[in-house]
Amino acid sequence: MSVYVGLMSGTSLDGISAAVVRFADDAPRLDPQLLAFVSTPYTSAQRARLRDALTGGTAQAYCRLAFDLGDWLATAAVAVLAEAGVPRRDVRAIGSHGQTIWHEPPHSTWQLGAAAVIAERTGIDVVSDFRARDVAANGQGAPLVPMADALLFASGEWRALQNIGGIGNVTIVPPEGALGGVRAFDTGPGVAVIDAVVRALMPDLEYDVDGRLAVRGRPVARLVDELLAAPYFAAPPPKSTGRELFDAGYVDRLIARCREASPDCTTHDIVATATLLTARSIADAYRRFLPEPVAEVLVSGGGAKNPALIAMLERELAPLPVRAFADRYFDGEAKEAVAFALLAHLHVIRQPGNVPRATGARGPRVLGTLTPA
């Protein structure tokens, strides 16, 4: 058995997810065991620095942020190892996704979080920069979670694993996880647009806590349908997206168009509209691009803890069952951190980590760059 740490900082900018995972070395299946999971929220100052970096900055600012983020990631790794009671010497490697600053496939992608800092602070080998090799092979560099979805979370039926982080993405997993049938793509906005709308309208809040704002509003449904006419939603997979499309300008236009469409539109109505956009974009993607006989949808990510969003998603996808990932496995917030622990393991044993059918890459590739301790 080999132990790995997975670190994830996603587009929602809510914090760092860290997981300690043990994998079987020789068994036909990896038999993953989640030993510990810790979620470390960013401070307001940290989140502001990351948010600023998504829209611009100086060479000095990016350089300092890369090293500081490396330190924050290392701190998260140390904390989760303490939670698991696992000595650092027993960890084979840390798999660190870092923070995506720019993603423009198939040309380039950029994640910050200096691996050398993590290795120096922890004394553990680090595998990082997972997306670059897939993009270099003419792929989207995303989503990368499908390999874990297939190897770790398959069942006896077709299953859709829907992550709702800052961006939404889905993996369609065949029975028993046969890689030849796996497909995946980004469905569109997750909570990034919802969170940004909340911050714009209610600056004292970072997000819609428990969906309390959305549940009190009436979404402008016709505006959602108009937004779904944008080219991204009609483009066939493989495809990926990010804050480059769903940016501050997109949020400002959504707010303005809500008010134009309904002069009496309230803050709650606008938040509800953004929430419906996420739910309906997922359902629209399923109707357009999922011919497989999916038996259930398992939802993970921060959006899975927004009851208003999940209620809308259930209505949009009915009669397809929608269940929390945690009902089948473990806390869905840990899922992506576990996936990057797996990608580190695959790097170490020199096995491909991408699913070309999902990313569009020219073929299977070993992902990541190793930074020795």
pLDDT band at 244 (very low <50, low <70, confident <90, very high): confident
The percent of residues above 70 in pLDDT, for the chain, comes to 99
DSSP structural state of residue 176: G
In whole angstroms, give the CA distance from residue 242 to residue 109: 11
Q: Which pLDDT does position 174 carry in this prediction?
A: 96
pLDDT band at 292 (very low <50, low <70, confident <90, very high): very high
List, as own/partner pairs, every contact residues 101-104 make where C-beta atoms lie below 8 angstroms and the sequence separation is at least 24, other chains included. Answer: 101/53, 101/54, 101/62, 102/54, 102/244, 103/131, 103/141, 103/142, 103/240, 103/242, 103/244, 104/244
Q: Which pLDDT does position 29 carry in this prediction?
A: 74
pLDDT band at 357 (very low <50, low <70, confident <90, very high): very high
In whole angstroms, give the CA distance from residue 71 to residue 115: 9
Listed in sequence order, the DSSP H helices in 144-220 are 146-152, 192-201
CA 333 to chain centre: 10
pTM over 0.75: yes
Query: For 97-125, what is each residue's pLDDT tens digit?
Result: 999 999 999 999 999 999 999 999 999 99
What letter represents residue 68's amino acid? D
Q: Which pLDDT does position 341 carry in this prediction?
A: 98
In whole angstroms, give the CA distance from residue 87 to residue 120: 16
Residue 280 confidence (pLDDT) above 70: yes
Mean pLDDT of all residues belonging to the chain = 95
Domains annotated on the chain, with CATH: 2-144+332-371 (3.30.420.40), 155-328 (3.30.420.40)
pLDDT band at 203 (very low <50, low <70, confident <90, very high): very high
CA dihedral 204, 194, 41, 141 (to 10 degrees): -150
Average pLDDT over residues 286-292: 97
Query: For 7-66, what is each residue's pLDDT tens digit?
Result: 999 888 899 999 999 998 766 678 889 999 999 999 999 999 999 999 899 999 999 999
Cβ-contact 160, 296 below 8 angstroms: yes
Cβ-contact 185, 358 below 8 angstroms: yes
Residue 134 confidence (pLDDT) above 70: yes
